[in-house]
């Protein structure tokens, strides 16, 4: 992977991480288009730069993340991340296989887009507009929705957890913010495991050149995410999910056409 390829992927990640469009699918679709081959390093790269983008949440919401007087906030995040850790470990082989199947992810993009067309009509009476009103039980339920993004790569972790939050009576804004918070421990755990696996099984992949590439790309993903996250909250409050549903359907169908024509492999 070249520096230019790494920066392109970082920009794609930073722009899409907080949108309900699946940053993973976007990176997987981008890889063959820009000539990035499948390697242990590229797989780890895609996970770690997601963490870099998600750290934008820690910066933008630092008062909540570093308010140690509110232990309940951290307890909710731990409770919510448990389902993802359990299913991530139990279904690792299946997940790895699904992540390598572009046809599967393209169809999931289309299916997820169709769902987003109707989400705003399903949850019209929210009652919770602040994270402090989210109970431990509701946090666990949202965490269970997050599992969908693990077993169905391309569904979007953001979309799954925001919809999970809205199903628990959270407003769009509150659901989006809790989704952002939950992303931090989720991707921290995933990144640590991925980095350790590469270090243990493919130490040559962590050469000085690759490590420098990873660091630079993480910085780019982080900076782009800082700009993107605020815009998404405003768009979600004003327009809801329908616009993202249409976007997903179009991208999924275009990818299916490219795969069918053999233009992307």
Rounded-to-integer distance, Cα 90 and Cα 74, Å: 25
pLDDT tens for the chain, 265 residues long, are 899 999 999 999 999 988 889 999 999 999 999 999 888 899 899 999 999 998 988 888 888 888 888 888 899 999 999 999 999 888 888 888 888 899 999 999 999 999 999 988 888 788 888 878 889 999 999 999 999 998 898 999 999 999 999 999 998 888 988 998 999 888 888 888 888 888 888 888 888 888 999 999 999 999 999 888 877 777 776 777 888 999 999 999 999 999 998 888 7
Distance in angstroms (rounded) separating the CA atoms of residues 44 and 84: 18
Q: What is the pLDDT of residue 198?
A: 87
DSSP letters for 112-140: HHHHHHHHHHH-----B-SGGG--HHHHH
Give pLDDT, residue 147: 93
pTM of structure:
0.89
User: Longest C-alpha distance within the chain, in Å?
Assistant: 57
R_g of the chain computed on alpha carbons: 18
């Amino acid at each position: 992977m070249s520096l230019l390829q790494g920066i392109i992927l970082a920009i794609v990640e930073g722009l899409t991480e907080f949108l309900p469009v699946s940053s993973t699918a976007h990176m997987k679709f981008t890889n063959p288009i820009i000539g990035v081959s499948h390697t242990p390093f590229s797989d780890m790269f895609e996970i770690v730069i997601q963490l870099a983008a998600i750290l934008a949440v820690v910066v933008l919401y630092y008062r909540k993340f570093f308010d140690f007087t509110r232990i309940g906030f951290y307890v909710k995040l731990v409770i919510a991340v448990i389902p993802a850790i359990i299913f991530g470990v139990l279904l690792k082989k299946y997940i790895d296989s699904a992540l390598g199947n572009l046809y599967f992810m393209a169809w999931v993009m289309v299916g997820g887009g169709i769902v987003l067309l109707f989400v705003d009509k399903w949850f019209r009476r929210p009652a919770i507009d602040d994270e402090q009103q989210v109970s431990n039980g509701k946090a666990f339920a949202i965490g269970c929705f997050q599992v969908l993004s693990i077993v169905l790569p391309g569904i979007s972790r953001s979309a799954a957890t925001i919809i999970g939050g809205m199903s628990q009576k959270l407003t769009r804004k509150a659901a989006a913010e809790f989704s952002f918070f939950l992303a931090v421990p989720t991707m921290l755990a995933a990144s640590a495991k991925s980095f350790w696996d590469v270090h243990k099984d493919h130490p040559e992949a962590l050469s000085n050149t690759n490590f420098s590439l990873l660091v630079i790309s993480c910085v780019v993903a982080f900076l782009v995410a800082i700009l993107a996250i605020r815009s998404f909250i405003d768009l979600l409050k004003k327009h809801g999910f329908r616009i993202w549903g249409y976007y997903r359907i179009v991208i999924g169908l275009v990818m299916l056409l490219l795969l069918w024509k053999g233009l992307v492999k």
